[in-house]
């Protein structure tokens, strides 16, 4: 959907190019209208372009291609294209800024995009020593379309649980990098869109959220029903127990996090734009216990 919005924005920009860029107004490919209608508070709301939300459907792929062809012809005819391209390339090639650091295993961890790089790299450093590059997503694909999303370092600094995307997609896959061997562990976890991670303090495993497998929920709901699992380092992902989410509302969001002193494990949950409930969690014998801290109150409160 983001790709489509970007395409529409570029098309609108292209319409403002000088008249010399084209002799006639482009013949835009037709966009069919569907008959989808939703009921909202008892009123029928038409959504004729809902079919465009299915990125992988052959009709949507053909629509994308036709629109891109129109844009390509118009941009290629733009007289100052080479000059504009050179200016943009020089700006994008500038180095970035260091991210806010985290501190694990006696080291400081941060990301930084050097000049000329498409993606920021992950570094670790011990005070007084030279930084060490840990992950470099610029090497993951020859066309540099694979990127590093969120990353979470284990308390002992040995492992990095990180998400990797392809072509900027939000549907990411989680890997675990071993900083000793400088290789990924064999296990990987898919369907980790917007997934978070909380490590156990002994670095033996971590909790993570994940979207349900396709076919395990009603059709059209596989981008909802978020669930929480626990992964033990070195074990099979297929054996990861689900510790929260079964039977919960489809639209419910939740966040598992540690207290500032790292002694407490807390779970926040709530419906969109609604009240938030918070629980103190216990982890014993592979089960997550919940003790209410704030429950059944019409408020949005953050607890630490």
Per-residue pLDDT tens over the stretch 252-296 = 999 999 999 999 999 999 999 899 999 999 999 889 999 999 998
Provide the pLDDT for residue 21: 45
The CA distances from residue 95 to 90, 111, 115, 147, in Å, are: 10, 12, 4, 17
Task: Tell me the pLDDT of the chain averaged across its residues.
Answer: 90
Contact (Cβ atoms closer than 8 angstroms) between residue 280 and residue 288: no
Q: Which of 269, 221, 223 is nearest to 244 (CA)?
A: 269
Provide the pLDDT for residue 177: 98
What average pLDDT score do residues 168-183 get? 95
In this prediction, what percent of the chain has a pLDDT beyond 90?
71
Provide the pLDDT for residue 26: 83
Q: Quick check: 170 pLDDT over 80?
A: yes
Please give the Cα distance from 210 to 128 (Å, whole number).
39
Please give the Cα distance from 232 to 146 (Å, whole number).
26
The CA distances from residue 41 to 44, 210, 274, in Å, are: 8, 31, 18
- When pLDDT is cut at 50, 70 and 90, the band that residue 19 belongs to is very low
Q: Quick check: 11 pLDDT over 60?
A: no
Contact (Cβ atoms closer than 8 angstroms) between residue 154 and residue 170: no
Provide the pLDDT for residue 27: 87
Contact (Cβ atoms closer than 8 angstroms) between residue 277 and residue 301: no
Q: Which two tokens stand for residue 93?
A: 């090639």
Edge-to-edge strand ranges of the sheet holding 173-178: 146-153, 159-166, 173-178, 183-189
Higher pLDDT, 16 or 199: 199
Higher pLDDT, 238 or 19: 238
Q: Quick check: 22 pLDDT over 60?
A: no
Provide the pLDDT for residue 10: 56
Q: Which of 152, 146, 143, 124 is nearest to 256 (CA)?
A: 152
Please give the Cα distance from 218 to 77 (Å, whole number).
48
Q: Which two tokens stand for residue 212?
A: 């349900």
Strand 265-270 relative to strand 276-284, pairing: antiparallel
Provide the pLDDT for residue 1: 52
36: left (phi over 0), alpha (psi -120 to 50) or beta: beta
199: left (phi over 0), alpha (psi -120 to 50) or beta: beta
Provide the pLDDT for residue 280: 97
CA contacts within 13 A on the Cβ side of 139: 6
User: Which tens digit of pLDDT belongs to each residue from 50-84?
Assistant: 999 998 899 999 999 999 999 999 888 888 988 99
Provide the pLDDT for residue 4: 55
Residue 70 is inside which H or E element, if any? helix 58-76
User: Which tens digit of pLDDT belongs to each residue from 140-163?
Assistant: 999 999 999 999 999 999 999 999
Q: For 64-81, give one letter per residue: b (16+ CB within 10 A) or e.
A: eeebeeebeebbeebeee
- When pLDDT is cut at 50, 70 and 90, the band that residue 20 belongs to is very low
């Amino acid at each position: 959907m983001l790709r489509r919005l970007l395409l529409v924005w570029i098309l609108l920009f292209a319409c403002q190019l000088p008249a010399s860029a084209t002799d006639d107004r482009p013949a835009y490919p037709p966009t069919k209208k569907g008959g989808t209608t939703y009921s909202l508070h008892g009123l029928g709301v038409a959504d004729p372009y809902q079919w465009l939300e299915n990125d992988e459907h052959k009709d949507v792929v053909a629509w994308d291609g036709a629109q891109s062809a129109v844009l390509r012809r118009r941009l290629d005819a733009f007289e100052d294209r080479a000059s504009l391209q050179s200016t943009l390339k020089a700006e994008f090639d500038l180095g970035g800024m260091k991210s806010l650091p985290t501190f694990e295993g006696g080291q400081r961890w941060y990301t930084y995009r050097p000049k000329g790089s498409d993606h920021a790299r992950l570094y670790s450093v011990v005070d007084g020593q030279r930084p060490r590059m840990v992950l470099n997503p610029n090497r993951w694909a020859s066309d540099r379309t694979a990127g590093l999303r969120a990353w979470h370092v284990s308390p002992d600094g040995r492992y990095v649980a990180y998400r990797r995307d392809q072509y900027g997609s939000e549907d990411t896959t989680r890997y675990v990098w071993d900083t000793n061997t400088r290789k990924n562990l064999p296990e990987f976890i898919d369907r980790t869109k917007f997934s978070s991670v909380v490590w156990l303090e002994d670095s033996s495993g971590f909790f993570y959220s994940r979207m349900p497998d396709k076919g395990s929920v009603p059709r059209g709901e596989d981008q909802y029903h978020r669930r929480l699992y626990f992964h033990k380092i070195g074990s099979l992902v297929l054996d990861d127990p689900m510790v929260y989410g079964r039977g919960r509302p489809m639209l419910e969001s939740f966040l598992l996090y540690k207290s500032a002193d790292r002694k407490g494990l807390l779970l926040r949950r709530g419906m969109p734009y609604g009240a938030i409930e918070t629980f103190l969690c216990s982890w014993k014998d592979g089960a997550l216990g919940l003790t209410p801290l704030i429950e059944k109150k019409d408020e949005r409160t953050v607890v630490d």
